[in-house]
Structure 1
């Protein structure tokens, strides 16, 4: 009987160790999948961006000064921001120098990237700031702009605009005046 009890204890111990090993292996596997998915989410896919634009964004002064911000989805927008009938591209960017955020806009008419914020002063949400801390954005079609929260009258858009905002907070339009990009406050 002593021998049988010892065997039963050994079997229980082995069974318990096997269960613990399986549980820890499963937890480790889940952790690896979570980490992998986070890493993949941070990778920026640039397949749909024309080579001409990529060269300007991924080389030279722009590349030395800025990184594309993969924390915003989508990290880029395509629209006709200057009204010339050709595609322009806006990128969420981060300054490598001071980690401030902003928008880099590649205009097909100028063949270069104009940076708003990300270390450059820009009138944003009723302040002049070097850090455009936004977490949502989308292309705003060329149409009549409704009255915003300020007394300023809405401008007639030359091209499409970029609706930029902070979740559950303020929003505004970044639009081309024909000479520069400017801000029109939409919501509070």
Structure 2
């Protein structure tokens, strides 16, 4: 009887150990668009990235991180990994879907990454792996840690792009000033994680110092063709901030600071 119990316990323990390990990630079918093959290697559990290869020369053109996975050291690491599940091209953008159903859109010209997932429930908290590494550092160690919280009042709650035109990917994330409750945007530049606050207690143009009015935002690529003479040539990607059926504006870097360009009433 004791032997039977020991054997049963060993089998149960083995089953638990097996179930704690995640299955191998999917082999994602590459997609080809305008002579470039886009591949998801799925070989790094801490970050999901894609590679772009020239179809004719088979030369790698670039590599881009789509999202990262925050690892809790007290838990089994591999069960926390999230990989890319599928790729597709739509309207000259690469659409990346994760194993958890989250969708990311990559502008193939600017390589800006935006997340387009269902909005979180009121009062909901985003999972840790949803927050870019640069933002985590700024929250833990930088100026954001002292005065601001990440805000999830608009989906997506962060956008990635080259906002100051230095050729490196920056992160813009929605924040709330703790002392006043005012909402705004923190732009975290890739170089030394320098942070610029817009709104959230810091006024800019007609947007004021509280972006509570904003209900949508997106990236306006510097390479985007526009017929409006009033829109300047951007040094970097711009942010288009909007209130539905009302005002919108572009926020862009003019070489010295971020400025506000009103687009509607």
* Structure 1 length-normalised TM: 0.68
> Which structure is higher in strand share?
2
- 1:116-171 per-residue CA deviation (whole Å, 9 max, x = no partner) reads 1101121135xxx21123110011111355538xxxx3321001111001111100
215, 227, 239: which one aligns with 1:135: 215
Counterparts of 1:80 and 1:93 in 2: how far apart (Å)?
A: 19
Q: Which residue of 1 aligns with 2:228?
A: 147
Aligned residue pairs: how many? 144
**1:187/1:45 Cα in 2 relative to 1: closer, same or farther (>3 Å)?**
farther
Q: Which residue of 1 aligns with 2:43?
A: none
Counterparts of 2:131 and 2:236 in 1: how far apart (Å)?
A: 20
Runs of 4+ in 1 over 6 A off after TM superposition: none
SS at match of 2:146: helix
Q: Which residue of 2 aligns with 1:38?
A: 121
**1:183/1:47 Cα in 2 relative to 1: closer, same or farther (>3 Å)?**
same
Q: Could you list the runs of 5+ residues in structure 1 that have no partner in the other structure? A: 1-36
> Which structure is higher in helix share?
1
Counterparts of 1:186 and 1:61 in 2: how far apart (Å)?
A: 31
**1:61/1:119 Cα in 2 relative to 1: closer, same or farther (>3 Å)?**
same
1:183 aligns with 2:223: no
Q: Which residue of 2 aligns with 1:67?
A: 149
Q: Could you list the runs of 5+ residues in structure 2 that have no partner in the other structure? A: 1-119
Q: Higher relative contact order at CA 8 Å, sep ≥6: structure 1 or structure 2?
A: 1
Q: Which residue of 1 aligns with 2:237?
A: 160
Contact in 2 for aligned 1:161/1:175 (Cα 8 Å): yes
